[in-house]
Amino acid sequence: MDPTPALIIRDLAKGFPAPAGGRSEVLRIPSLRLRAGEQVALRGESGLGKTTLMHIIAGILVPDAGEVAVGGTVLTGLSEAARDRFRAERLGYVFQTFNLLQGLTALENVALGLAFGRGARPRAALEALDRVGLAGRAHYLPRQLSTGQQQRVAVARALANRPCLILADEPTGNLDAARGRKVIALLRDSAAELGSALLVASHDPEVLDGFGQVLDLAALNQVQAREEEA
């Protein structure tokens, strides 16, 4: 029997209020599925709705229609508070701009990722930092770290709760090529080690080339496909 899939999307639709009135549809994805532990890249240029899709999968945004299930939990059926808790306990999120809190040390930033869930071990934050090779910089503030180190702290924060699914939204967007490669390698190795599924959204060919499975958002998203046909 197959283990529970890391991600299932069915008949997803999302739009936003248009400036001229009415709604402007952004996403229409009939189906998307990630197996447990699977590592997939999502190709898409800027403005195609990658971040919107990531936010919906993370439960930050609510779709207009359709269903999203992560690790067997149907997020679209949960209240906002329950989605918040689920995100804290079962998901890891790596942002393009690192999104570290500048007033907190590296260790505190990682601990922040554990603070809103239940059952986190006290040493989990330090272990996550150790996993990305920054245990020695635990008490550094973000501004005292290089950009590559900052993104590694962000990766540690996403790993600390041992998530079933890690979402990485343009994780190398603010890094040079060499650092970008290291961060992707770190993400992939750590996800494999933890048994977490990994979905990396990027438009960088160098990032995409390393993945065995690359999904094209332009093809996946029927809104985009329709616009291209038109």
Q: Which residues bind other proteins (CB under 8 A)?
A: 46, 50-52, 55, 58, 60-61, 80-81, 84-89, 93, 95-97, 99-104, 108, 111-113, 115-117, 157, 169-170, 173, 201
How many other CB atoms are found less than 10 A from the CB of residue 71? 20
Q: Which pair of structure tokens corresponds to residue 49?
A: 């709705």
CB of 98 to other proteins, least distance (A): 10
Closer residue to other proteins (CB): 52 or 149: 52
CB of 192 to other proteins, least distance (A): 23
**CB under 8 Å to 211, separation ≥6 — which residues?**
39, 40, 41, 200
Q: 16: helix, coil or strand?
A: strand
CB of 170 to other proteins, least distance (A): 4
CB of 2 to other proteins, least distance (A): 28
Sign of CA dihedral 16, 26, 71, 163: negative
Q: 128: helix, coil or strand?
A: helix
Closer residue to other proteins (CB): 51 or 221: 51
- Say if residue 22 is exposed, middle or buried (CB neighbours under 10 Å; 0-12, 13-18, 19+): exposed
Q: Which pair of structure tokens corresponds to residue 14?
A: 């999302």
CB of 150 to other proteins, least distance (A): 13
Closer residue to other proteins (CB): 74 or 82: 82
Closer residue to other proteins (CB): 102 or 230: 102
Q: How far is CA 215 from CA 109, 137, 146, in A?
A: 31, 36, 31
